[in-house]
Amino acid sequence: MAASALAVCMGMSASGAHNELTLQTNKLGAKVQPTMYGLFFEDINYAADGGLYAEMVKNRSFEFPQSLMGWMTYGGVELRNDGPFERNPHYVRLSPASHPHKHSGLENEGFFGVAVREGEEYRFSVWARVPDGGEAKLKVVIVDTKSQGESQEIAKARVTVDSKEWKKYTAVLKPKMTEAKGKLRIFLERPETTVDLEHVSLFPVDTWKGHENGLRRDLAQKLADLKPGIFRFPGGCIVEGTEIGDRYQWKNTVGPVENRPTNQNRWHYTFTNRFYPDYYQSGGLGFYEYFLLSEEIGAAPLPVLNVGLVCQYQNDRLESHVPVDRLDPYIQDALDLIEFANGPVDSEWGQLRADMGHPAPFGLEFIAIGNEQWGPEYVERLQPFVEAIRKAYPEIKIVGSSGPNSEGKDFDYLWPEMRRLKADLVDEHFYRPADWFLSQGARYDNYDRKGPKVFAGEYACHIKNKKWNHFYPALLEAAFMTGLERNADIVQMATYAPLFAHVEGWQWRPDMIWFDNLRSMPTASYYVQQLYAANKGTQVVPLTMDKKPLTGAEGQNGLFASAVWDADASQYVVKLANTSAEPQEITLHFAGMKKNRIIGSGTMMTLASENPDAENTLDNPDLIKPVESGVKVDGNQFSTTMKPYSFVVMRFDLVNK
């Protein structure tokens, strides 16, 4: 019998069963690391360009391989390639139209449209010059696509270009209505003068924390609201590249945005049934922005760098990898990254960080080398990275990989190798079905405590039905995570994946947060992560169930549990997942209490759904969300009935008598 069926069965047969859980309050266990729960960001599903990165112009530098992809042109428009930005040389020249009733101009389609809100402000900017001198007048318009027949101008501004030298011009537009699928048009106005345009950009003024090269506020806020302890970036497979030249290169993503080269995004062609030929990386959301975001959401940054391997899934030609004796530039990239994050302002890379606006170090503590790599080809490349980083920066913790699978040949080979190389943490990935999640509650109970720690770096419960982000897989993630928490001495980081998905542009599901051009929505899995992260506590508290140590194996009565002490709040925190279809009677005993202390009042957050197939949608984003209630404790004991299919987090005050 499948473990899922078994657990449900156990729950059913245990209908009305009484579960006695005891917290050993006088035997506090392992420290829960501040990094324990966090976020993994990858530019997949239009998570960065078209998503979190608030730029609204697609192909703003005319650097996609089809240079005018995303643009329509009218009249005299010529593509040129001797522009002011060395790494983005293309720009367009608008020349006077051939007839007074014709227009020269451009239209950008945005990412699934250009989305604006009534009454808000949008900053248009463009680098421009008038090569023949004089003045060129530009009319900048946002049009809707709702109106029948002709489109309506919903915001406009005028820009006068008055220099033969390249200069940045800006204008603020205030839309008179909300439009999710508008377009941006730029017309050359009469009397027409030839004008050159480069790096055409449109951002909301109201970005996250108001940064000009900023992030979509609603999406960044959801990251902050999760209370993450760790922020892993920029991928995922995009770190690797199908060919080595396509790999993510952090040095291409720092410095002025105008000069950050466009890179392909392998998610544009990975799945032919989810094919997005206009999916590229602008680099506008680059390593400086990632570090800054980590700081602003209170998470420790965890950058992942290429180890000299191309994506082993996409490209099995050994000669495509970087030979081991030619890894020096790649290793130097890692060392330079540490200097960029932490170095003094008079160091080469520390100075760039300061020039970009952050003289103080970012406090980088972790670096991952290689994403989801496997085989001896990984180990032999990782080794020289480890040696060089240890020598230059012994304080930095190095994260290695256990490959793409949660068990099996690659996993069994890589773990001992990671031990041998003395990696500080090993990144495990598991996109697995329901029965795996139900059977893995005790996964870490018997891990070797002497070797590297575990980073559960990418995981999600995948249950293929009509819906993917429904409640049931989220509940199984919650159940599984009790095992991470009970083993916090060995598991020190965990991040669900992937994080974001645009409803019109996704390649991979399930995902934690879905969005369209104007709205965003947390899934049930988001709330599970948030409930863990916001209630991670500081030390594990041993739990017994019906007087036996709670192992999480198969979930006793379909019930999974963990408990922590939160020293900052002086509270015990208990997490319980009822994966069964039946209610569960629970009594919690607080054993080993000092005589002068009692358990005072408490609160309970409940994430539940009578229908395990229910899911949040953009039209109904609040269908599943945590509900808070108070709980009454009686004589260091608390009883409740857990709903079928529910996850609860309870906090109990410890007070002096």
The CB-of-577 to ligand AHR minimum distance in angstroms stands at: 24
The first and second tokens of residue 249, run together, are 């290169």
DSSP single-letter state for residue 49: B
What is the distance between the alpha carbons of residues 213 and 203, in angstroms, rounded to a whole number?
A: 8
Which C-beta is closer to ligand AHR: that of 90 or that of 266?
A: 266
Choose, by CB under 6 A, the member of 508, 560, 645, 647 that binds ligand AHR.
508
Which C-beta is closer to ligand AHR: that of 270 or that of 487?
A: 270
What is the distance between the alpha carbons of residues 140 and 316, in angstroms, rounded to a whole number?
A: 48
Q: What are phi and psi of 119, to 5 degrees?
A: 85, -15
Crossing angle of helices 524-533 and 471-486, rounded to 10°: 20
Handedness of CA 313, 314, 317, 323 (dihedral sign): negative
Closest CA to 380 of 294, 459, 301, 322: 322
Which C-beta is closer to ligand AHR: that of 141 or that of 494?
A: 494
Whole-angstrom CA distances from 45 to 129, 396, 551 are: 36, 31, 37
The CB-of-282 to ligand AHR minimum distance in angstroms stands at: 19
Which C-beta is closer to ligand AHR: that of 194 or that of 263?
A: 263
The first and second tokens of residue 2, run together, are 């499948």
User: Going residue by residue from 210 to 239, which x/- string records binding to ligand AHR, judged by CB under 6 A?
Assistant: -------------------------xxx--
Find the binding residues for ligand AHR in span 180-209 (CB under 6 A): none
Residue that the structure tokens 């808000």 belong to: 120
Which C-beta is closer to ligand AHR: that of 108 or that of 529?
A: 529
What is the distance between the alpha carbons of residues 133 and 273, in angstroms, rounded to a whole number?
A: 50
What is the distance between the alpha carbons of residues 481 and 38, in angstroms, rounded to a whole number?
A: 13
Choose, by CB under 6 A, the member of 44, 341, 484, 540 that binds ligand AHR.
44
Which C-beta is closer to ligand AHR: that of 124 or that of 514?
A: 514
How long a stretch of residues is the chain? 657
Check: CB of residue 525 under 8 Å from CB of residue 460. Answer: yes
Q: How many residues bind ligand AHR (CB under 6 A)?
A: 12
DSSP single-letter state for residue 388: H
User: Going residue by residue from 447 to 466, which x/- string records binding to ligand AHR, judged by CB under 6 A?
Assistant: -----------x--------
- Residue 350 interacts with ligand AHR (CB under 6 A): yes or no: no
Does 554 participate in catalysis according to the annotation? no
- Residue 371 interacts with ligand AHR (CB under 6 A): yes or no: yes
The first and second tokens of residue 466, run together, are 């009509």
Check: CB of residue 371 under 8 Å from CB of residue 235. Answer: yes
- Residue 42 interacts with ligand AHR (CB under 6 A): yes or no: yes
- Residue 301 interacts with ligand AHR (CB under 6 A): yes or no: no
Choose, by CB under 6 A, the member of 335, 389, 497, 501 that binds ligand AHR.
497
User: Going residue by residue from 74 to 113, which x/- string records binding to ligand AHR, judged by CB under 6 A?
Assistant: ----------------------------------------
Angle formed at CA 597 by CA 23 and CA 602, multiple of 5 degrees: 60
Find the binding residues for ligand AHR in span 380-409 (CB under 6 A): 404
The CB-of-642 to ligand AHR minimum distance in angstroms stands at: 32
Which C-beta is closer to ligand AHR: that of 91 or that of 366?
A: 366
Find the binding residues for ligand AHR in span 322-341 (CB under 6 A): none
The CB-of-39 to ligand AHR minimum distance in angstroms stands at: 12
What is the distance between the alpha carbons of residues 177 and 182, in angstroms, rounded to a whole number?
A: 11
Strands 597-608 and 37-40, bridge-based pairing: unpaired
- Residue 498 interacts with ligand AHR (CB under 6 A): yes or no: yes
What is the distance between the alpha carbons of residues 332 and 337, in angstroms, rounded to a whole number?
A: 8
The burial class, CB within 10 Å (0-12 / 13-18 / 19+), for 360 is exposed
The CB-of-371 to ligand AHR minimum distance in angstroms stands at: 5
Which C-beta is closer to ligand AHR: that of 223 or that of 588?
A: 223
The CB-of-444 to ligand AHR minimum distance in angstroms stands at: 21
Active-site residue, selected from the candidate residues 198, 372, 477, 485: 372
Check: CB of residue 143 under 8 Å from CB of residue 154. Answer: yes
Residue that the structure tokens 């952050």 belong to: 358
Which C-beta is closer to ligand AHR: that of 77 or that of 497?
A: 497
Q: What are phi and psi of 385, to 5 degrees?
A: -65, -45
CA neighbours closer than 13 Å in the CB half-sphere of residue 415: 17
Q: Which amino acid is at 116?
A: V
User: Taking CB positions, which residue lies at the least distance from ligand AHR?
Assistant: 236
Q: How many CB atoms lie within 10 A of CB 300?
A: 22
Which C-beta is closer to ligand AHR: that of 237 or that of 533?
A: 237
Which C-beta is closer to ligand AHR: that of 103 or that of 247?
A: 247
Strands of the sheet with 76-80, listed across from one edge: 76-80, 91-95, 195-204, 122-129, 167-173
The CB-of-40 to ligand AHR minimum distance in angstroms stands at: 7
- Residue 372 interacts with ligand AHR (CB under 6 A): yes or no: yes
> Largest Cα–Cα distance of the chain, in whole Å?
93
- The whole-angstrom distance between residue 2's C-alpha and the CA centroid of its chain comes to 32
- Residue 246 interacts with ligand AHR (CB under 6 A): yes or no: no
DSSP single-letter state for residue 74: E
What is the distance between the alpha carbons of residues 359 and 570, in angstroms, rounded to a whole number?
A: 37
Q: What are phi and psi of 400, to 5 degrees?
A: -105, 180
Q: Which amino acid is at 502?
A: H
- Residue 378 interacts with ligand AHR (CB under 6 A): yes or no: no
The CB-of-312 to ligand AHR minimum distance in angstroms stands at: 10
- Residue 39 interacts with ligand AHR (CB under 6 A): yes or no: no
The CB-of-249 to ligand AHR minimum distance in angstroms stands at: 17
Looking at 16-97, list the stretches that DSSP marks H as alpha helix, in order from N- to C-terminal side: none
Which C-beta is closer to ligand AHR: that of 247 or that of 486?
A: 247
Closest CA to 92 of 198, 199, 192, 163: 198
Residues near ligand AHR (CB under 6 A) are 42, 44, 235-237, 371-372, 404, 458, 497-498, 508
Catalytic positions: 372
